[in-house]
Amino acid sequence: MGDSEENLDDVIERLRKRYAPVKDPKCRVCGHEMRMGMAGQGRVEWFCESDGASPLRKEGQARKDATKHYWASQEIQVQFGDEDVIRVLDELELKIIWKGS
């Protein structure tokens, strides 16, 4: 491959990462499912929904630990996938492969 093709490969890879559909995240503290806490203005906030992250009906240190878990699990997504872009990248890569054959 020439330099221009290698550069194009890098661009395609960056675009794939940027526009790939985003999956619902898992809690970085315990690995449990996350729930959407808030959405709007181009972003989604996720929080852990495990019992360990719920300060409700807990007292003292258990409440502090659950609150800490809840806030530590927060994740904000500002990226949303675009399947049309991924489809165009697939077609572009096929054309590059056929051109190189």
* Mean pLDDT across 13-26: 83
Residue 33 included in any domain: yes
Look at residue 100 and tell me if it is in a domain.
no
**Which tokens in the block code for residue 66?**
């659950």
Q: Does residue 101 belong to any structural domain of this protein? A: no
Q: For residues 20 and 12, what is the distance between their CA atoms, to the nearest angstrom?
A: 12
Domain extent, residue 67, equals: 3-95
Portion of the chain with pLDDT greater than 70, in percent = 91
pLDDT given for residue 79 in this prediction: 67
Distance in angstroms (rounded) separating the CA atoms of residues 30 and 27:
6
State the pLDDT confidence band at 1, using cuts at 50, 70 and 90: very low
Tokens coding 51:
């019992």
- The pLDDT of 50-75, averaged and rounded, is 92
Closest to 33 in 3D by CA, of 89, 80, 75: 75
Cα–Cα distance measured from residue 14 to residue 90, given in angstroms and rounded to the nearest whole number: 13
66 falls within a domain: yes
Q: What is the pLDDT of residues 26-60, one digit of tens each?
A: 999 999 999 988 888 778 899 999 999 988 889 99
Domain total of the chain: 1
Share above pLDDT 90 across residues of the chain, in percent, rounded to a whole number = 32
Q: Choose among 79, 70, 77: nearest CA to 32.
A: 70
- Name 76's bridge partners: 45
Give me the pLDDT at residue 25, please. 87
